[in-house]
Structure 1
Amino acid sequence: MSTQGLSIPALRVGPRPQALVASLSGISRDRPSLSSLLLTTLAIGIAVLDVWLVIPEDAPTYSLVFSSIACAALAWRKRLPFLTVLATIPGFFVGWSQLAAMIALGFLAYRKGMHWQTWVGAGLVVACRFVLWPWSEMVALDWRQHVLDFIYGLVVAGMPVVLALLILARQDLSRRLAELDASRDRERRMHARAVRADERASLAREMHDVVSHEVTLIAMQANTLECAKTPHDVAAAADTIRQLSTRTLEELRSLVGVLRSATDEELPAPQLTDLGALIRDVDVPVRLKVDNVPETLPSQISAAAFRTVQEALTNVHKHAPGAAATVQVAVDGEMLHVAVRNDRPHQPSRSLPSGGHGLAGLAERALRLDGTFHARATDDGGFEVRADYPLRTSTAPNT
């Protein structure tokens, strides 16, 4: 039975998970936590104790009422911090709820920071400490006492504000440190990924250079073996295939050994001094020109130049059978120039697999060494590969 075109109505088995989570989050926000309740109880308790310890027996009723309102208003310090400060001002001015006003001002500064409401609240607290009630008591004081009252008012208002701002600064610093740690973790992860990607790319280039060249030679010798007519030719081709296979396995074992090694051992890299052996083994007529090349070159540059020649000759094997090649290696000033040029093919191209990664790998090598790479078809039907490498010391890893 086909279900195409069959529509099944959706079944509602309860609220959606998102709506449920949102509703639960709203409930948790509306309900104060246990720590908040304890903090509110402690603040109100301390404010009540402060009033109870200093209130005289003959205190007027209105001062008791305003002081009680100031203490009770602390319950709203989180939701309405500015109104809470305003509610504590009458009790501080005509009563004895100084500590309640200080607590309310501290929470206001903690919630608002350097907001205008904080400055207004601080100014009101300073005024309540400086201006005395009843007025007759204030008028009876001399100027020295007025100065002291003003200083004490600044201290009473400044202390909770400074404490709240210090707490905010500490929280902001902790948040910034956490963000910095998270940023460093991201950078470390990105660096680790970049290192792994670089290592994979380096390994891929080495595997391609080793396997592609050697297996191409093995394929050529297998073709020779197929066309051999005498036992001597068969034995020679088979012996060459055996030698090439052994050498390929040895190089692959060397690469695998580097991968399994726990040290920072570098991948094995050939040098320009190995060009002679490469040209002798390759089944292509090669004319080699070396001009002004010093005996010692930077290892990275030498390996990249060798791989350039190796890949170019391998491509001649694959795509230009019977063509002759010219290899030119020269140093001009601070640059090493490598060029491989082949004639037009004299035989049909052999159907050997090619992934197109060889030239891309050579371009990557040149780019990593601040060099240039060019590959193009020539007007006479051949092909040319050219790479230029600066001879200054490079900081790129060995490839």
Structure 2
Amino acid sequence: MYYADTVTVVTDSPAPSAPRRAAAGPWRAWLESTGLAAFRPSGARTGGDPSGWPRPGLWPARWVAVLVVGATVLFTGLDVLAAVVGGRTTGAAGPYAGLVLQIVCDLALLFAIRAPLVVSGLMLAAGLAFTGSELVSPGLLVPSPTLTGNPLLPAATATVVFILVQLRGGRAPWLIVGALVVIAVRPWAPALDTIALGLLASAVPALAGRFVEARRQNLADLRERAERSDREQHLLAERARAQERARLASEMHDVVSHRVSLMVLQAGALEVAATDPATREAAAALRGAGVTALDELREVVGVLRAPGPGGGGGARLATSPRVGPEAGAPELDELLESSRAAGLRVRAEGLDGLADLPASVARAVHRVVQEGLTNVHKHAPGSEAAVAVRRGPDVVAVEVRNSAPAAPAPAVTDLAATGTGSGLRGLRERVELLGGTLEHGSSADGGFVVTATVPSSAVPGPVRR
């Protein structure tokens, strides 16, 4: 019975934390929450500064470029239409001075994502220019008479403010927004329509942008909490499995190994005291089987104690002592003959030259062949099996291959149903305990192949994860 095929050992020490991301400013957080970070060009500098985008790129994604360029074209067209249909400036700067300044601000919208503070500052400067023109020299930049409720701000101001409050934190963005609100509502000449349109062009976009950014941050926090909760639940489950595994190892070490050791000692005493040769021979065989069982039990306990991925292990127990000489390697010939006697056609090669292998390696080879032939009996009736053992300078490779089954699977439903799927998993644990590898899968001819590679000088050690 093999206990270690579905249990994973972890330590009580904290699991290695995920790599920490670089400090992210509002720009980076906005990009990640909207999915724009995935479009960041290679080679760009990291951090919260939009100037990290490599020139000449202005936008993180094509659809963002379409939106920004579309808004720029829309605002420019509206300004040109207003200049053609409405009045023109009459000051010394010419009839199109205000239109030129409006178009400059509209084109600056193309750079709003890359340099939001600079573009917002340009909008503020243009608003101050329009307001100063209206107060000091009417008609210089704003057509006279001024339209009722005109906030005296560039048309793209609302869009720029909406972008600014999402990409930049701190006081600077809100100082700019406050100055734009003052210019737009004109408190020195209060009027209901002026205040309403001014707030709509300055304060409302800022508050809307801040709301969108806060919602993104809340969603990101909720996702992070959910992921943290999942990780904690996973760690708790792993710890529970580790505790159960340590309990099994303790029971096997303290109870089972003790009982088997007593059996071995009593069999040895019987071998010495018996006068009948048959009795002595039976006692010797019983003692040898007990020694082998103790050695295999040590390997199983070693698997249960094996460290997890973090490098630590479960509760460390005392090492199981040997009570007799090194157990000999199981005979593969006997295993093959028993399969042939059951009606399975088996071809074998490379079985010679394994006598000097360490007992643990020889037993692993035996278990690979045994499990492979057992699966052939269960799942591939009527097929032919081939067992090949190849020994290199440092490794031993064993392969068990069978052809496609000659009988349909329903013919062996009862036998196949006895399998639980844990045999190959337990076999992998045994092989990895020795520093080897195990692979299995379907072959091109419809059969199945099990291949194991084990270091020829391996001794039981921690299972590699």
TM-score between both structures, scaled by the size of structure 2: 0.40
Choose 1 or 2 for highest CA Rg. 1
Q: Indicate the structure with greater helix content.
A: 1
TM-score between both structures, scaled by the size of structure 1: 0.46
